Structure 1
Amino acid sequence: MASSSLALGYIPGATPAKWARIWAQRHPDVPLQLCSLNAGDAADAARAGTVDIALLRLPADTSGLAVIPLYEETTVVVVPTDHLLSAADAVTATDLDGEPRLIPRDDAVVWADAPGVVVGHRPENTEQATELVAAGVGVLIVPQSLARLHHRRDLTYRQITDAPTCPVALALPEGPQSALVEEFIGIVRGRKPGSSRGQTPPAPKRTAREKALAKQAARAAAGKVARTPGRAKRARR
């Protein structure tokens, strides 16, 4: 593989470290550039070629992009550690009825009938919303990875068992892909070293007749070699 580089854009909360580690082991001469992206800019970055591949959450405007679904994130509610809901191991939507709920402008959870009473002020981002949760302004519904990213000692989170999940996917420009991009996709999909696409396929199995003919040819060749010294001796007499 020719020495070059590959740019992977990723949104807040996404963790491409495992893939980056495997890439570095397999291709130490080809740097994998990790580019942090705002959630709303990830698809545009892939479309514009700012990054070769974008790791993003769905739904998003993926026009002109090929999308490879990866996994579904658990949805949680972030509350202060002394909140009544913190006593439970998990909660349901009904448990959140009547709770003041913050919706940041970069909201990542698509839930049309989400419970709670929406707070009028919309924080600019999830980080600011988390600070307002700590201040007691309201609760926050986010993918679990964002709750972990913005974790504070005075906050905790609980899974909402009946909430929709948050899909995560790779997005890249439509059309033929470079060998580097194909190699990275293979790593994400768990493909082992040496099993990438384009590898020379194994030779087809021979039929019984072909095997028999091969054995006959091998025996004939061996007999010819064995007789050769005798002829050579007779020629020297």
Structure 2
Amino acid sequence: MQRIHNATQLTDLSQDDLAQLYAYPADLAAPCVRANFVSSIDGAATSDGRSAGLGTPADKSVFLMLRELADVVLVGAGTVRAENYGGARTDPQRRHALHDAGFGGHPEGAAPPIAVVTASAAIDLDARLLTDTTVPPLIITTTTAPADRKQQLIDAGAVVVEAGDAAVTPKALLRVLAERGLHRVLCEGGPHLFGELLGADAVDELCLTTAPLLVGGTGRRISLSAHEFRHRMTRAHILLDDDGTMLVRWVRA
């Protein structure tokens, strides 16, 4: 029997230790895409229709740290609606310190924008994404999305970028982010966006929390795609919490 290596009790780590474990590579010249998801033991990505239903204190701690490190938080429009997304809430001093340490963060401590992928620009103008944020959200859409809808989003404070005619491909999406210097990409879902990125072999890391729950039901997996693929990943580390939560960081093999 072989012991699991790289397994650490989360309670043994300081915030600085945690930041170092999840630090992005230094001097990135292109986007590095990290996905963060939570799943039940039996594979459900949601409970009662939301990923928050699977959350644990350990998952929240790592979730917040990943946001502190990121340049941008990437989500699909369906996830924005289902999870009632507002702007990212981060600590300016910590973001500044993380930048100085070379881990991520931001030189001025600004929060990472939420970047939403929506081919139709279908975002509710009353959504928290627009009304509860300290930085403008980035709406990544298409040239065929209704012009009046895009203008309404701009008037509501969003930055609207066209990245395709009828669809936003992973390649075009990452090009848009790269043009804005947003290289530390944190993808928080949903399953369709994650599946498209995986299908294009555009995901560098997956941070997966397994909540100590069996939930049954018809909850979806963390990724959905039209075609099956096989991408080999390597376990970078495992964090364990006393309540049974397990957090694994998987990286490209």
Compare CA radii of gyration and give the structure with the larger one.
1
Q: Which has the higher helix share?
A: 1
TM-score normalised per structure 2? 0.22
